[in-house]
Amino acid sequence: MEKNWIIDLVGVSKKFGESEALKDINLYVRRNEFLTLLGPSGCGKTTTLRIIGGFEHPTKGKVIFEEKDITDVPPYQRQINTVFQKYALFPHLNVFENIAFGLKIKKISKSEIRDSVSYMLKLVNLEGFEKRPIESLSGGQQQRVAIARALVNKPKVLLLDEPLGALDLKLRKGMQLELKKMQKRIGITFIYVTHDQEEALTMSDTVVVMDKGKIQQIGTPVDIYNEPKNIFVANFIGESNVIDGIMHDDFIVEIQGVVFDCVDKGFDKDEAVDVVIRPEDIEIVSAEEGQLKGKITSVTFKGVHYEMIAESGNFSWKIQSTVMKPVDAEIGMKIIPENIHIMKKVKNN
Ligand code: ATP
């Protein structure tokens, strides 16, 4: 029976001289999924992608493709294609010739090439652009040509390294949705690299959050957002309040001298923990009703909601709410157990 996954990275590490770009990466990529590698600059996303594409060789570990070890297989023999941020199109060839290039090398018949290229142009919404010189196209259009060129060889996996990085915000948003639709329509695996968390959450079936050469968390966008596994993920994906807490028992945590029910267990009694609470998970109530009390010190209008800061003890709580309270208002804050995320303290080194 065919396994559901197409790529498996097994204990992949990569060193450049003394510096370790990747440390023991283990990752399954499922067939036909849109998987995104997300993390800050230098975390190892591009190196991971280049190892999957065959442009880098791991120092340790294996790359498995459809159950075969392809660690030593060169890029052009892998059924994997790459779209780079710099589109790497041939400037002296027109749109048709750019897309057809890979097929011509393979000595495919002219009529077949014509059919494949027109199918691709339709897919990327560039019908009628066949004869246009590359330099006459906008950045977004060039990016579509690059995608068409990478897809025309019918790879089983498409690697995309910050492909929308050079586009302005509006175009970028449009292309995000188009790419996602395109991926579902053609039904192949996309592995996408970005440092933009909103982009990752919008497009992906699976998000892989990376930091310092390691995978921090793998999950659906909803899982990653709602159940961050550590402080790094909580802070990288959206805004968070991270405050000290003490566990009284399983399911009971003390924050700022107040005892809260929570849904996490497996901590020691009296263990010092980090507690993560999303700004939108704090409900503003009257001072009497609140579990915690605070005083509003700043209010910013953000369109769909207000962002407020409430000082309480020596902690500044970030709150997002459609209810606006003015500066100096005394408020109560309520948090339900499911929205209180308890994390082990990370010991430095
Ligand atoms: P960015 O978003 O900035 O591209 P990234 O997450 O993709 O970052 P990588 O490009 O994979 O990160 O780099 C990971 C680490 O490996 C960085 O510290 C980088 O400087 C280093 N590195 C990557 N390629 C090389 C190379 N060819 N030689 C030396 N060091 C490298």
Ranking 47-56, 122-131, 340-349 by mean pLDDT, the lowest is 340-349
pLDDT at 7 over 70: yes
pLDDT band at 138 (very low <50, low <70, confident <90, very high): confident
Closest ligand 1 atom to the C-alpha of 46? Answer: 7
pLDDT band at 3 (very low <50, low <70, confident <90, very high): low
Whole-angstrom Cα distance, residue 77 to residue 104? Answer: 17
Q: Please, which residues bridge with residue 292 across strands?
A: 333
* Residue with CA at minimum distance from ligand 1 atom 17: 42
CA angle 45, 49, 51 (to 5 degrees): 115
pLDDT at 140 over 80: yes
Q: Please, which residues bridge with residue 30 across strands?
A: 5
3-class SS of residue 120: helix
**Which DSSP string do the residues of 43-80 spell out, in sequence order?**
SSHHHHHHHHHTSS--SEEEEEETTEE-TTS-GGGSSE
* Residue with CA at minimum distance from ligand 1 atom 24: 47
Q: How far is the CA of 20 from the centre of ligand 1 (A)?
A: 10
Following CA atoms 325, 327, 329, 330 in sequence, which dihedral angle do they give, to the nearest 10 degrees? 110
pLDDT digits (tens, 9 = 90+) for 38-82: 999 999 999 999 999 999 999 999 999 999 999 999 998 999 999
Q: Which residue has the tokens 């790419």?
A: 179
Ranking 21-30, 115-124, 145-154, 340-349 by mean pLDDT, the lowest is 340-349
Burial annotation 127-156 (CB, 10 A radius, 16+ → b, else e): eebbeeebeebeebbbbbbbbbbbbbeebb
pLDDT band at 4 (very low <50, low <70, confident <90, very high): confident
Q: Which residue has the tokens 């910013």?
A: 300
Q: Which of 9, 18, 43 to mutate to test the pocket of ligand 1 (most atoms within 8 A of CB)?
A: 43
- Which comes out higher in pLDDT, residue 191 or 174? 191
User: CATH 2.40.50.140 in the chain, residues?
Assistant: 241-344
Q: How far is the CA of 213 from the centre of ligand 1 (A)?
A: 9
Class of the CATH-defined domain 5-234: alpha beta
Of the candidates 261, 234, 245, 217, which has an alpha carbon nearest to the alpha carbon of residue 313?
245
Q: How far is the CA of 181 from the centre of ligand 1 (A)?
A: 30
Whole-angstrom Cα distance, residue 315 to residue 332? Answer: 14
Q: Which of 9, 22, 47 to mutate to test the pocket of ligand 1 (most atoms within 8 A of CB)?
A: 47
Sheet of strand 5-16: strand arrangement: 19-30, 5-16, 60-65, 68-69
19 and 13 Cβ atoms separated by less than 8 Å: no
Q: How far is the CA of 55 from the centre of ligand 1 (A)?
A: 13
Q: How far is the CA of 344 from the centre of ligand 1 (A)?
A: 29
pLDDT at 83 over 60: yes
User: What residues are in contact with ligand 1 under a 6 Å CB criterion?
Assistant: 16, 19, 21, 39, 41-47, 195
* Residue with CA at minimum distance from ligand 1 atom 2: 41
Closest ligand 1 atom to the C-alpha of 195? Answer: 2
Whole-angstrom Cα distance, residue 23 to residue 41? Answer: 16
What's the confidence (pLDDT) of residue 2? 54
Q: How far is the CA of 19 from the centre of ligand 1 (A)?
A: 10
User: CATH 3.40.50.300 in the chain, residues?
Assistant: 5-234
* Residue with CA at minimum distance from ligand 1 atom 27: 16
Q: Which of 18, 36, 45, 160 to mutate to test the pocket of ligand 1 (most atoms within 8 A of CB)?
A: 45
Task: Over range 76-102, report the average pLDDT.
Answer: 89
Q: pLDDT above 90 covers what percent of the chain?
A: 82
Of the candidates 25, 47, 42, 347, which has an alpha carbon nearest to the alpha carbon of residue 216?
25
Kindly report the number of other CB atoms within 10 A of residue 110's CB atom: 10
What CATH number labels 241-344?
Answer: 2.40.50.140
